[in-house]
Amino acid sequence: APPEWDWRKKGAVTEVKDQGMCGSCWAFSVTGNVEGQWFLNRGTLLSLSEQELLDCDKVDKACLGGLPSNAYTAIEKLGGLETEDDYSYQGHVQACSFSAQMAKVYINDSVELSQNEQKLAAWLAQKGPISVAINAFGMQFYRHGIAHPLRPLCSPWLIDHAVLLVGYGNRSNIPFWAIKNSWGSDWGEEGYYYLHRGSGACGVNTMASSAVVN
């Protein structure tokens, strides 16, 4: 892996979104990943619809939570994702109104990634932003800087929030992951969370995955 990488500087990441009062982080994590994959494979950055997943992914539970692995399958079965503009976010479940004719992107497959953070960094730099899930300990009060909670307080076994790795690097010799969150740009560092890299902090390496666009 290169010593640092940031997909935001390369135009692969859309603006920070806000899931509102709804546990739909899984949908934002997956659309963020697909946005990056589409950009890297097709050259166009499109903001994609989380509401489509809330309404039409019947395996997951909309605002009550979901799993990225199910969401990839749903996108494949539905026939793609509409854009944010065409199927805008409401923050609560509605009847599915997806139209295959309106789909602007598709995915062909999805893969699980290594739990080795060095390999994750290498994958990210070469292939694009990664969907991950973490233990959200402390994030309710996070303002800025690199979070590195004690492991017993931020157990990898208590994963409860899905987010998107968009880059990594070092600040004052502290290695970090740059993480796009979905709580709006008025949270954290303009919507981003910085978490210690290399120690499996908060289980960041335990549920890494990506869509595949051919």
Partner 1 sequence: APVPFKPRAAGARAWEPSSPELLAPARFALDEYNRGRAAGSRAVLGTVRGRVRRTAQGSLYSLEATLEEPPCKDPLVCLLPVSKKTMLCTFEILNELGKHILLRRDCGPVDTKVTDNRNESVSSFLPQLNSDPLQQDFSMKITSVFKDFVATYNRTYESEEEAQWRLSVFARNMVRAQKIQALDRGTAQYGVTKFSDLTEEEFHTIYLNPLLREEPSKKMRLAKSLTDP
171 sits near partner 1 (criterion: CB under 8 A): yes
Roughly how many angstroms between the first and final C-alpha of the chain, as a whole number? Answer: 23
112 sits near partner 1 (criterion: CB under 8 A): yes
70 sits near partner 1 (criterion: CB under 8 A): yes
Question: Is 202 in the active site?
Answer: no
**The two structure tokens encoding residue 149:** 């909670």
Return all residues near 177 (Cβ < 8 A) that are at least 6 apart: 165, 167, 168, 194, 195, 196, 197, 204
State the Cα–Cα distance between residues 89 and 62, nearest whole angstrom.
12
81 sits near partner 1 (criterion: CB under 8 A): no
64 sits near partner 1 (criterion: CB under 8 A): yes
> Which one among 111, 118, 170, 190 touches partner 1, defined by CB under 8 A?
111
Catalytic pick among 181, 196, 202, 205: 181
Greatest distance between any 2 Cα atoms in the chain: 49
> Which residue lies nearer to partner 1 by CB, 46 or 74?
74
77 sits near partner 1 (criterion: CB under 8 A): no
Kindly state the helix (H) or strand (E) to which residue 182 belongs, with its residue range. Answer: none
Identify the bridge partners of residue 164 per DSSP, sorted by sequence position: 131, 180
Chain positions contacting partner 1, by CB under 8 A: 19, 21-23, 25-26, 60-61, 64-67, 69-70, 72-73, 109-114, 119, 122-123, 126-127, 133, 136-138, 140-153, 157-162, 171-172, 174, 183-184, 186-187, 194, 196, 207, 209-210
